Amino acid sequence: MSEPSSHLKSDQGLSRRNLLQGTAAGVAASLAGPALSGWSQAGQSTRSSTPGKSAATLTPADMPKAWSLEEMQRRWQITRQKMKENQLDCLLVPQHHSGEMIAERMDGDADVEWLTGNGLPFKYVIFPLVGKITAISTGQVRGTPEEKLCAERGIEIRIPQETAMWSSAIIDSLREKNMTEARIGVTNLAEAPRQPEGEISYTTYDRILKAFPQAKFSSAG
């Protein structure tokens, strides 16, 4: 019997799982590096100005509350540059199914969180090459800090009028963004983590395709 793909070894003796874990660690380190450096410098400054104060006196209130607008703009610029390189006018980004997430990381919607900076799950994000970003969610987002953060970042939150009618909200948003003949990339369309057949339902995707017969849809990883 063949070994599971996650256990297959490379020529260097590393398994696919090792490689993925190493990549994730590298990304985390690259993102955390500037922040950690800044905190370290801030800590050194505090210690020099207040002799005897221990780092143990830091409280949760001292920590950053959220990603800065500058950080979000940096992410959007990177994403849009990749879209240009792949000739995409828009991205449709579905949420990962919570049932497939690691129990300790229920906030593991990496793609959605990368684009919105929020831990609160959004079912879909519509990310145009030019124009306003739209996050589609349920009514649970109303009155939350995440809702306020989105407003401050210029992200539109859309809540479907009918419960779980995601396709109607997606279709309306794409039409408003003039995507009727656009090139639209769909993430996690297949081979998604713990969901090899993708994260978007057949019904939702079928309705979107029928609503935009002149648009070109493709897998965007």
Looking at the structure, tell me whether residues 41 and 141 fall in a common domain.
Answer: no
Question: Are residues 115 and 17 part of one domain?
Answer: no
- pLDDT band for position 27 (50/70/90)? very low
Higher-pLDDT residue of 40 and 186 is 186
Considering the domain architecture, whether residues 43 and 99 belong to the same structural domain is answered as no
Q: Are residues 46 and 15 in the same domain?
A: yes
Same domain, 115 and 79: yes
Per residue in 127-171, pLDDT (tens digit) is: 999 999 999 988 888 888 888 889 999 999 998 876 558 999 999
Q: Specify whether 87 is located in the same domain as 184.
A: yes
Query: 146 and 129 in one domain?
Result: yes
3-state secondary structure of 32: helix
pLDDT of residue 112: 86
160 in Cβ contact with 166 (< 8 Å): yes
User: Amino acid identity of 172?
Assistant: D
- Mean pLDDT is lowest, of 10-14, 54-58, 70-74, for 10-14
Q: Residue 192: what pLDDT?
A: 66
Q: Which residues contact 186 (CB under 8 A, 6 or more apart)?
A: 91, 92, 94, 200, 205, 217, 218, 219, 220
Cα–Cα dist 183/179, whole Å:
8
Residue 54's pLDDT band, with cuts at 50, 70 and 90, is low
The verdict on 33 and 71 lying in the same domain is no
User: Per-residue pLDDT tens for 74-121?
Assistant: 999 999 999 999 999 999 999 876 554 444 444 457 788 889 988 666
Antiparallel, parallel or unpaired: β 90-94 and 124-128: antiparallel
Q: Which domain holds residue 25?
A: 1-64
Per-residue pLDDT, 184: 98
pLDDT at 64: 67
CA distance 34 to 143: 32
Pick from 64, 98, 115: which residue ends a domain? 64
What is the token pair recorded at 216? Answer: 């070109």
Beta-strand ranges (E) seen in 35-151 are 90-94, 124-128, 134-136
User: pLDDT higher for 103 or 69?
Assistant: 69
Q: How many domains does the chain have?
A: 2
Q: Are residues 28 and 75 in the same domain?
A: no
Same domain, 134 and 215: yes
Among residues 142, 149, 166, 159, the alpha carbon closest in space to that of 72 is found at 149
Same domain, 50 and 113: no
> Does residue 47 share a domain with residue 133?
no
